[in-house]
């Protein structure tokens, strides 16, 4: 036959939609394909054979395969922000306007200057990078790496924000079937008929697997028709979920599978609001792995020339896409699967110059088929070298009699046998085992709950796949608790799968590639063996065999066999490398899903958030919470000016701050007080109802865990507060103490953090403001409601509220709590009531400044290594009771008098700014670790005092008041003198807060 000029498309046939032409471009040139094409089939149809340049040597490369195992045909897809490097042309469904670019070539695919690397190849063998660029090490980052990256990189990322979104989802089923070839379709049908909930995941856009690429007869239908009929039957089952374009990429414990669905990759861009891809977590009671087998290339000279393809891929392009991969073929195979290649090519009108089979005797079936088609059979022969450069133009064939025959051709269809796709069976530590009858690794121990059917199991014939799929589908359903229903099996003609391994052509001339994607040739493996790399894992790292996007799907077994040959071992004794998820590449975006940018993690908003936004607040993240950090006013030049104003207002009149984020735990029960005694270092049984107390908790190792104020609301009712940061951790700890350590205590704990909108009001005018809000029947005078009083009140004419006379700022202060739904209303009422006193909202910065002025410890001091004593709170530790952490807090190291203790610091030069993180060194000593006496933890500019102040840990600090020491900050390159002072800078007698 003669192909039309510029086209290899057959005049009829294939599962493409010839009524829908699709325009696309490759390297800027326009082409046309049809709906149902892949980029690969459309390029082949347009006679585009040169698709990329190889990784290291920049050799011209074309397509080898038709599926996800393709090592060569990787392109950059789309443009601008959607540009995606390293996509496999065989997996890209053609869409109108598709743009693709070849990779790894400069300046152009046809004329690549770096193909000179091919001539330098003696220097680019295994381990080349390690050997050549060893020295000097300093040149790695600046010189070697950029050069290597440019020369040997794959595609380039767009560098722009991905405009699409990704989704993650969870799916539960009784039986997961992975792969929809004959075994998968049968397994899914059998499980579905039993009533099981089935998920059928297929990497391809259509169900059928090899049924689509082969031409077999099943129940009188063509294999593709039969696959379509089965697909329709499964679609009609209500509890079967078919996931097309979905690759199961990983197996995890507990019957969990990871899968990636390419929801919109077959479109120019996702339909409105649809995700680009969806990451599935599939939880299955049972799984049937019915993945395919992957055909092996043959290893001979220049076996990487465009036009040398896997025989199965040649059939797929022919039957599924109606594309002839060449017009004059040589079929070079070592197994009987090739029979169909010969007869089908001939039937399609492709002339076949020869069938070359290294076996001395070709099987009678194949012989007969070839004869019938008038094809020359060369038994006992092998292709030693392919001719041609950008496209194969002929082959040098060594005949059985030793003579060399050169035949012209534009296609070599090769088959070295089939490797069952065992990858998913190994993700939970299973190791494949060697099966010499098919000359391939087959699954060994498989993950719990998984069974393997069809060619993935090593049962390569169609009849076996059908029988096995049906029976394993039934077994899976039974194991998941259903009753099997027998169904009649479809009938198929048997076929031979006989094989005699040929791992390489011994007298090959020219480079014989094993791993096409990584440019690993036979010589590299031989060299690695010679240099002592005996473990397959070392071989992989040294030669890069089996790395990168295809993970050696076509290369690994050939590589192992050659390693075995060079080491004179049996292949089963060489072992395999560990295959880990993912089976095929997964974009990071898919793992992120919805959780990117502002949704990277959930945000927790306090009740006054909307109001704070209206005030123009600047926010800061505190764990999940978003809190107002400060409230800038127009004309303020920086945050310091704003914070200084806020502090001054609170200290001179009245300020208000949302403190709802503190953790709140309702603790009730007859033993509530006893429970608190055991978790806090201080006493609680003597706390009066209607009073609050500061408490400190330790971890069992004696280190401080958290602090906060707890109020006694009733005989058996306490209300605990925790720090914002530790709320969840404290709740978990208390549950541990109750459920595991002391289950006999009558205590109940309910988190009430979100129930209360709580505002701290501080400053001399606070009572004036509160009097306008608190209903008159509640007396909040100093006598009736003294410092540390607490109780239930009502506000604004009857709304339930709680009032606490607590002060973190050191001012006369109250915290007022109302149910959160009223929080927004209350802050507005507070602002209204305080207007005449110039009430000023303050944020976490001002809160921090005021607590430093008062010497209160907070997160920077509760740093996971400090003891109660270090915080100056050692006297709180009760000696009348046991509590968590008591015993180990008494360890010699934790009571060492030389431990650093919190004290205050001020700069000797009062104008100087000081910073947290500076370490304290005695004057006259070297600023070195052995002279380190502590470090600054918190600093603030104190508006009340007029200079910077700090808190920090200093060895024997309380004994050293007035001493001048060095504060050394090598990270910022600073050093200055500070004076050791009391940590309480403001109102040391505490008169204000009791006023």
Partner 1 sequence: MRITCPHCGNRSLDEFIYLGDATVQRPDPARPDALAAFVDYVYQRENPVGRHRELWYHNAGCHAWLVVTRDVRTHEIFGVEPAKEVSLSEKTTGAAR
Partner 2 sequence: MANRTLELRSAVPELSRNSRIGRQDGPARLVVSEMTGLSVVSIAARKGQSGSLQGAVKKLFKIELPNTPRRVEAGGVAFLWAGPDQWIAITDMAVHPDFDRELVAKLGKFASFTDQGDARTLIRVSGPASREVIATGVPLDLHPRAFQPDDVALTHASHIAVTIWQIDEEPTFVFAVARGFARSFWHWLSDSGSVHGIEVSPGT
**Residues contributing to the site for partner 1 (CB under 8 A):** 170, 252-256, 281, 283, 428, 448, 700-701, 728, 731-732, 735-736, 738-741, 743-744, 882, 886-888, 890-891
Name the residue nearer to partner 2 (CB basis): 208 or 275.
275
399 close to 380: Cβ distance less than 8 angstroms = yes
Q: Say which entry of partner 1, partner 2, none residue 886 contacts (CB below 5 to 8 A, set by partner kind).
A: partner 1
What is the rounded CA–CA span in Å between residue 559 and residue 701? 54
Name the residue nearer to partner 1 (CB basis): 638 or 744.
744
Q: Say which entry of partner 1, partner 2, none residue 736 contacts (CB below 5 to 8 A, set by partner kind).
A: partner 1
Helices (H), 461-555: 462-479, 522-530, 536-543
16 close to 35: Cβ distance less than 8 angstroms = yes
Nearest distance in Å: CB 196, partner 2: 10
Q: Say which entry of partner 2, partner 1, none residue 984 contacts (CB below 5 to 8 A, set by partner kind).
A: none
Contacts of 66 (CB under 8 A, 6+ apart): 38, 40, 41, 90, 213, 310, 312, 313, 316, 317, 320
H-run or E-run covering 559: helix 556-567
Residues that bind partner 2 (CB under 8 A): 165, 167-172, 197, 271-275, 281, 283, 593-595, 598-599, 601-607, 610, 624-625, 666, 668-671, 717, 744-757, 794-800, 818-826, 829
Q: Say which entry of partner 2, partner 1, none residue 252 contacts (CB below 5 to 8 A, set by partner kind).
A: partner 1
Phi/psi at 251 (nearest 5 deg)? Answer: -115, 130
> For the chain, what is the radius of gyration of the CA atoms?
38
Nearest distance in Å: CB 596, partner 2: 11
Q: Say which entry of partner 1, partner 2, none residue 81 contacts (CB below 5 to 8 A, set by partner kind).
A: none
88 close to 70: Cβ distance less than 8 angstroms = yes
Name the residue nearer to partner 2 (CB basis): 641 or 716.
716
Half-sphere exposure at residue 796, Cβ-oriented, CA atoms within 13 angstroms: 17
Name the residue nearer to partner 1 (CB basis): 229 or 886.
886
Name the residue nearer to partner 2 (CB basis): 435 or 668.
668
SS3 content of the chain, % helix, strand, coil (to 5): 25, 30, 45
Q: Say which entry of partner 2, partner 1, none residue 607 contacts (CB below 5 to 8 A, set by partner kind).
A: partner 2
Name the residue nearer to partner 1 (CB basis): 100 or 282.
282
Q: Say which entry of partner 2, partner 1, none residue 606 contacts (CB below 5 to 8 A, set by partner kind).
A: partner 2
Torsion of CA 250, 251, 256, 257, to 10 degrees: 30
Q: Say which entry of partner 2, partner 1, none residue 740 contacts (CB below 5 to 8 A, set by partner kind).
A: partner 1
Q: Does 836 sit behind a cis peptide bond, omega within 30 degrees of 0 on the bond before it?
A: no
Name the residue nearer to partner 2 (CB basis): 427 or 664.
664
Name the residue nearer to partner 2 (CB basis): 826 or 868.
826
476 close to 196: Cβ distance less than 8 angstroms = yes
Nearest distance in Å: CB 395, partner 2: 53
231 close to 242: Cβ distance less than 8 angstroms = yes
Q: Say which entry of partner 1, partner 2, none residue 506 contacts (CB below 5 to 8 A, set by partner kind).
A: none
Detail the DSSP E strand segments found in 932-988.
Answer: 934-942, 947-955, 964-969, 974-981
Nearest to 190 by CA among 141, 144, 224, 240: 240
Name the residue nearer to partner 1 (CB basis): 52 or 258.
258
Nearest distance in Å: CB 604, partner 2: 4
- Partners of 23 in beta bridges: 32
What is the rounded CA–CA span in Å between residue 312 and residue 261? 25
Q: Say which entry of partner 2, partner 1, none residue 732 contacts (CB below 5 to 8 A, set by partner kind).
A: partner 1
Nearest to 209 by CA among 223, 188, 191: 223
Chain centroid to Cα 167, Å, comes to 13
Nearest distance in Å: CB 756, partner 1: 20
Name the residue nearer to partner 2 (CB basis): 270 or 874.
270
Name the residue nearer to partner 2 (CB basis): 96 or 599.
599
Q: Say which entry of partner 1, partner 2, none residue 220 contacts (CB below 5 to 8 A, set by partner kind).
A: none
Contacts of 855 (CB under 8 A, 6+ apart): 902, 904, 951, 982, 983, 984, 985
């Amino acid at each position: 036959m003669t192909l039309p000029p510029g086209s290899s498309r057959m005049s009829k046939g294939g599962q493409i939609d010839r009524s829908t032409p699709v325009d696309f471009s490759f390297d800027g040139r326009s082409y046309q394909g049809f709906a149902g094409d892949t980029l690969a089939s459309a390029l082949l149809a347009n006679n585009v054979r040169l698709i990329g340049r190889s990784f290291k040597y920049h050799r011209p490369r074309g397509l080898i395969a038709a599926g996800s195992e393709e090592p060569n045909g990787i392109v950059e897809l789309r443009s601008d922000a959607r540009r995606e490097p390293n996509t496999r042309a065989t997996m890209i469904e053609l869409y109108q306007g598709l743009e693709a670019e070849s990779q790894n070539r400069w300046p152009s695919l046809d004329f690549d200057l770096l193909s000179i690397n091919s001539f330098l190849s003696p220097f680019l063998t295994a381990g080349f990078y390690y050997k050549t660029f060893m020295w000097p090490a300093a040149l790695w980052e600046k010189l070697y790496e950029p050069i290597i990256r440019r020369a040997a990189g794959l595609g380039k990322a767009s560098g722009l924000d991905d405009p699409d979104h990704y989704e993650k989802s969870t799916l539960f089923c009784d039986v997961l079937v992975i792969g929809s070839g004959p075994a998968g379709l049968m397994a899914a049908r059998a499980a579905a008929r039993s009533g099981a909930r089935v998920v059928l995941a297929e990497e391809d856009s259509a169900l059928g697997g090899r049924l689509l690429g082969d031409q077999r007869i099943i129940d009188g239908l063509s294999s593709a028709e039969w696959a379509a009929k089965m697909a329709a039957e499964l679609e009609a089952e209500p509890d079967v979920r078919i996931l097309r374009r979905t690759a199961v990429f990983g197996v995890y414990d507990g019957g969990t599978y990871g899968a990636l669905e390419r929801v919109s990759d077959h479109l120019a861009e996702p339909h409105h609001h649809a995700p680009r891809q969806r990451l599935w977590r599939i939880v299955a009671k049972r799984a049937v792995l019915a993945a395919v087998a992957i055909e092996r290339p043959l290893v001979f000279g220049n076996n990487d020339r465009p036009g040398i393809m896997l025989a199965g891929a040649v059939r797929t392009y022919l039957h599924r896409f109606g594309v002839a991969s060449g017009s004059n073929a040589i079929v070079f195979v070592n197994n009987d699967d090739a029979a169909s290649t010969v007869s089908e090519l001939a039937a399609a009108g492709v002339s076949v110059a020869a069938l070359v089979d290294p076996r001395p005797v070709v099987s009678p079936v194949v012989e007969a088929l070839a004869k019938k088609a008038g094809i020359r059979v060369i038994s006992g022969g092998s292709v030693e070298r392919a001719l041609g450069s950008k496209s194969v133009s002929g082959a040098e064939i060594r005949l059985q009699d030793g003579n060399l025959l050169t035949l012209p051709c534009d296609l070599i269809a090769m088959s070295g046998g089939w490797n069952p796709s065992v990858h998913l069976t190994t993700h939970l530590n299973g190791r494949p085992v060697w099966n010499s009858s098919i000359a391939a690794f087959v699954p060994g121990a498989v993950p719990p709950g998984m069974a393997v059917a069809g060619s993935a199991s090593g049962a390569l014939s169609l009849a076996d796949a059908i029988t096995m799929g049906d029976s394993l589908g039934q077994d899976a359903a039974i194991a998941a608790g259903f009753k099997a229903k027998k169904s009649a099996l479809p009938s198929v003609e048997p076929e031979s799968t006989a094989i005699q391994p040929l791992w390489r052509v011994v007298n090959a001339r020219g480079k014989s590639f094993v791993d096409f994607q990584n440019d690993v040739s036979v010589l590299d493996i031989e060299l690695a063996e010679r240099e002592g790399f005996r473990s397959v894992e070392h071989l992989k790292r040294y030669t890069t065999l089996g790395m990168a996007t295809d993970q050696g799907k076509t290369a690994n077994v050939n590589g192992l066999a050659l390693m075995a040959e060079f080491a004179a071992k049996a292949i089963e004794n060489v072992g395999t490398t560990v295959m880990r998820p993912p089976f095929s590449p997964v974009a990071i975006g898919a793992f992120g899903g919805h959780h990117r940018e502002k949704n990277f993690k959930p945000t927790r908003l306090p009740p006054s958030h909307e109001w704070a936004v209206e005030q123009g607040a600047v926010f800061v993240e505190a764990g999940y919470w978003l809190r107002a950090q400060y409230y800038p006013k127009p004309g303020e030049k920086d945050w310091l000016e704003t914070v200084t104003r806020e502090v001054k207002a609170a200290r001179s009149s009245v300020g208000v701050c949302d403190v709802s984020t503190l953790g709140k735990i309702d603790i009730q029960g007859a033993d509530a007080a006893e429970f608190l005694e055991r978790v806090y270092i201080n006493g609680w049984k003597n706390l009066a109802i209607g009073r609050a107390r500061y408490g400190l908790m330790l971890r069992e190792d004696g280190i401080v865990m958290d602090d906060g104020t707890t109020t006694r609301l009733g005989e058996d009712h306490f209300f605990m507060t925790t720090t914002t940061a530790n709320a969840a951790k404290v709740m978990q700890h208390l549950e541990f103490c109750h459920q595991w350590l002391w289950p006999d205590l009558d205590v109940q704990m309910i988190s009430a953090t979100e129930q209360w909108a709580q505002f701290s009001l501080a400053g001399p005018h606070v009572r004036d403001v509160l009097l306008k809000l608190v209903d008159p029947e509640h007396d909040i005078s100093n006598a009736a409601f003294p410092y540390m009083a607490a109780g239930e009140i009502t506000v604004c004419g009857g709304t339930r509220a709680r009032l606490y006379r607590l002060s973190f700022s050191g001012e006369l202060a109250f915290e007022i709590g109302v149910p959160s739904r009223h929080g927004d209303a209350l802050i507005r009422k507070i602002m209204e009531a305080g207007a005449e006193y110039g009430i000023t909202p303050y944020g976490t910065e001002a809160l921090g400044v005021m607590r430093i002025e008062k010497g209160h410890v907070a997160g920077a001091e509760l740093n996971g290594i400090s003891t109660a004593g270090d915080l100056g709170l050692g006297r709180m530790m009760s000696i009348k009771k046991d509590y968590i952490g008591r015993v180990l807090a008494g360890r010699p190291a934790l009571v060492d008098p030389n431990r650093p203790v919190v004290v205050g610091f001020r700069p000797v030069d009062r104008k100087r700014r000081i910073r947290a993180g500076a370490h304290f060194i005695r004057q006259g000593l070297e600023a070195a670790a052995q002279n380190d006496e502590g470090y600054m933890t918190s600093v603030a500019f104190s508006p009340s005092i007029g200079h910077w102040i700090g808190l920090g840990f200093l060895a024997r600090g309380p004994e050293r008041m007035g001493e001048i020491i060095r504060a050394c900050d090598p990270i910022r390159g600073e050093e200055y003198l500070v004076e050791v002072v009391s940590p309480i800078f403001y109102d040391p007698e505490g008169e204000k807060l009791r006023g």
